[in-house]
Amino acid sequence: MTNINFIIKKIGEKNDENIIWSNNKYYTGEALLKKIISCRKIIKNKMKMGDLVAFQSDFNFDSIAFFIASLLEKLIVIPLPQNQKNLLDLVFCNYFVNIKNLKIKKLKIKNFKANKILHKFKKRKIPGLIVFSSGSSGKPKIILHDFSLLINKFKIDRPGFKTLLMLSSDHLGGINTLMASLIYSNCLAICLKKRDPITVCKVIEKTKAELLPTTPTFLNMLLLSKRYRVNNLNSLKLITFGAEFMPQELLNNLKKQFPKIKFKQTYGLSEIGVMRTKSKNDKSLAVKVGGEDYRVKVINNVLHIKSKTNMVGYLNSPQPFDKNGWINTEDRVLNEGNGYLRILGRKSEIINVGGEKVYPQEIENILLKCKGIADSRVYKNRHKILGEYVVAEIVFKKKFTSKNKNSNYLRNFCEKNLAKYKVPSKFIIKNYSDIISNRFKKIRKNY
């Protein structure tokens, strides 16, 4: 049995069970299988194995069925980020599908240079997945995966949850969440039309969701919104967080507000997939990362990973793996013993202030303790003569009406709580929308 057929088998075992909640309606395993069959018929009339097909849709009943049907037909699927159809200019894509009506449009292929990695993969006629890096440090990288490899870890039976599909369909973490929700027992994949705290809290209450996989930025927004006081979130058993750094101060505040919910840190890369993690304890940011398909090692305090689920390769960039298959994650870590690591941040984000190393996340954690501050984004800038210096963009709480919304207030607080060289040289007041992406994570600046 192929790994893709394994998904169908597991859905079939839930024939009479509710497996998806979408558009305010429950769908059974049987309904999903029927929709997948319908999508496969449409695909067979238009496409052949190895074709590249893109769609731009959030998770819903139709998009999930089409996604699985495309994999069964051994296509290479490209879930596009919202409002970024222009990414197709970077890749040799044959078709674009409108999920709402399942109309397939043939695309005019531009004069792309022949790509050896893609050409060789297409010849294998196996299901593929293309995702894009965030592009925060330049042009997005095109990442090609053999989808069947990403399914291997789900063959080990694990506890299932009623899960919010909080991470988007163009995100490897979102696809990982979807697969777990469809494959494991006693699961429900809960689709969201919006991902703001109001909508999310309403849906948790309505569906009695048990698992919220999200980012620290969203969790901070949730606390600030105070929607947990309006809606009943007692069904939540587990909140997982990843994709960016979690400030210790924020985790402390979350544990204080939600003492009965377990919090778990996740870790993964678009190039290798989502790894298994084990937290040192419920209040610690130290984790063991790995799992049956992964090996890890630390060289000069930087995490390196070797995986059985390595991507096939970048389609528009040099390959990041060494001759033995290891990838340098560029994540600096602190070894806390017994295999537990605390992830400090990307090597490229470290600020060199007069020879001293400054981690932006450390300053952001301290700023969360400052009265009136909702969040911040810290990064480096460069002076032609003086070198790198620290910049802090500050988001104040809406109800903070104090006259202290100025640089002097912020600088005085930092001077009392940080070493002199860590105090930002520049403070800029921002709105939340200025510092976060549509994936609810901070947009990291590097100069």
Average of per-residue pLDDT across 57-74? 96
Average pLDDT for 365-388: 91
Give CA–CA dist 244/444, Å, rounded. 10
Q: What DSSP state is assigned to residue 135?
A: -
The phi and psi torsions of 355 (rounded to 5 degrees) equal 90, -10
pLDDT tens string 146-173: 999 999 889 888 889 999 999 999 989 9
| pLDDT tens per residue across span 41-54 | 999 999 999 999 99
First to last CA, the chain: 49
Model confidence pLDDT, tens digit, residues 284-304: 899 999 877 889 999 999 999
Q: Where are the beta strands (DSSP E) in 291-360?
A: 294-299, 302-307, 313-314, 326-335, 341-346, 351-353, 356-358
Residues 6+ apart with CB under 8 A from 325: 306, 307, 310
Question: Residue 136 pLDDT more than 60?
Answer: no
Q: Which two tokens stand for residue 144?
A: 């090609």
pLDDT tens digit string along 166-209? 999 998 999 999 999 999 999 999 999 999 999 999 999 999 99
Chain mean pLDDT for the chain: 92
Give the gyration radius of the chain's Cα atoms: 23
Q: Is 250 helix (H, G, I), strand (E, B) or coil?
A: helix
pLDDT per residue as tens digits for the range 325-366:
999 999 999 999 888 999 988 888 899 998 899 999 999 999
* pLDDT over 80 at 379, yes or no: yes
Q: Which pLDDT value is given to residue 138?
A: 63
Token duo for residue 113: 């240079």
CA dihedral 337→339→344→347, nearest 10 degrees, is 120
| Whether residue 14 has pLDDT greater than 80 | yes
| Least confidently predicted of 68-82, 363-377, 402-416 | 402-416
Mean pLDDT on 418-446:
88
Q: Is the pLDDT of residue 322 over 80?
A: yes
Q: 386: phi > 0 → left, psi -120 to 50 → alpha, else beta; which? A: alpha
**Rounded average pLDDT over 224-241:** 96
Domains of the chain, CATH where assigned: 3-150 (3.40.50.980), 350-435 (3.30.300.30)
pLDDT of residue 135: 56
Structure tokens at 86: 């222009």
| 30 has a pLDDT exceeding 90 | yes
Percent of all residues in the chain with a pLDDT value above 70, rounded to a whole number: 97
Q: Is the pTM higher than 0.85?
A: yes
Report whether pLDDT(137) > 90. Answer: no
Burial class (CB in 10 A: 0-12, 13-18, 19+), 243: buried
